[in-house]
């Protein structure tokens, strides 16, 4: 059993992006995520998942310079992550393929957690 991290890369959504969503849209979106995450959890493969607030701080120069971030190139930011277990890398990819991120043009990065020893 290996551990993997799925990193969700998405568009930096500004507030106007949400103004056009109807209550029905909000519910549909939540249900998509709920189904996907719930499905992984139901298989006992989920370790944890969190969303990140869009704004943060970036420390550079030995931690002496603190600026507002994140400033990845373009408007793409890391919006959240999930830690899960899978037998193989392929299985982790398969699990990631159901992620609702893809419907809004997002990307999911799959990384295996390194085991030391």
Partner 1 sequence: MSEPNTLVAHLFRHEAGRMVSVLAAMLGFDRIELAEDIVQDAMVQALRSWPFQGIPENPSAWLYRVAKNKALDVVRREKLFRQISGDWASERQEEDMMEQFFFEDEINDSQLRMLFACCHPSLPFESQVAMCLKILCGLSIREIANAFLTSEETITKRIYRAKEKIRAKEIRLEVPTGLQLPIRVNAVLKSIYLLFNEGYTSSHPDTLIRQDLCEEAMRLTLLLTQTPRTTTPSAHALLALMCFQVARFEARTDATGAIVLLKDQDRTQWNQALIAQGKRQLAASAGGSELSEYHLEAAIALQHCLAPTYEKTNWQVILSYYDLLLNRKPGPIVALNRAVALAEVDGPMEALLAVLQIKELETNQYYHAILGDLYAQLHQTDRARQHYHRALHLTSSGAEKQLLRKKIDPLL
How far is Cα 115 from Cα 29, in angstroms, rounded to an integer? Answer: 35
Instruction: Write down the least CB distance from residue 50 to partner 1, Å.
Output: 5
By beta-carbon proximity to partner 1, the closer residue of 49 and 76 is 49
For residue 36 the two structure tokens come to 């996907």
- Write out the residues near partner 1 by the rule CB under 8 A: 15, 18-27, 29-31, 33-35, 37-39, 41-42, 46, 49-51, 80
For partner 1, give the closer residue by CB, 22 or 114.
Answer: 22
Nearer to partner 1, 5 or 46 (CB): 46
Q: Which is nearer to partner 1, 50 or 68 (CB)?
A: 50
- Residue 99: CB minimum distance to partner 1, A: 10
**Widest pairwise Cα distance in the chain:** 51
| Minimum CB–partner distance for residue 76 and partner 1 (Å) | 17
**How many DSSP H helices and E strands does the chain contain?**
3, 6
> Mapped to the 3 state alphabet, what secondary structure does 20-64 carry?
CCCHHHHHHHHHHHHHHHHHHHHCCCEEEEEECCCCEEEEECCCC
């Amino acid at each position: 059993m290996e551990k993997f991290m799925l990193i969700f890369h998405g568009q930096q959504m500004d507030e106007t992006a949400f103004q056009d969503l109807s209550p029905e849209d909000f519910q549909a979106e939540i249900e998509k995520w709920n189904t996907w995450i719930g499905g992984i959890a139901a298989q006992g493969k989920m370790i944890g998942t969190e969303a990140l607030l869009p704004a943060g701080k970036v420390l550079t120069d030995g931690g002496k310079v603190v600026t507002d971030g994140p400033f990845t190139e373009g408007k793409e930011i890391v919006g959240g992550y999930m830690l899960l277990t899978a037998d193989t890398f392929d299985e982790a990819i398969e699990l990631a393929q159901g992620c609702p991120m893809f419907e809004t043009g997002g990307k999911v990065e799959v990384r295996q957690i390194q085991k030391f020893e």
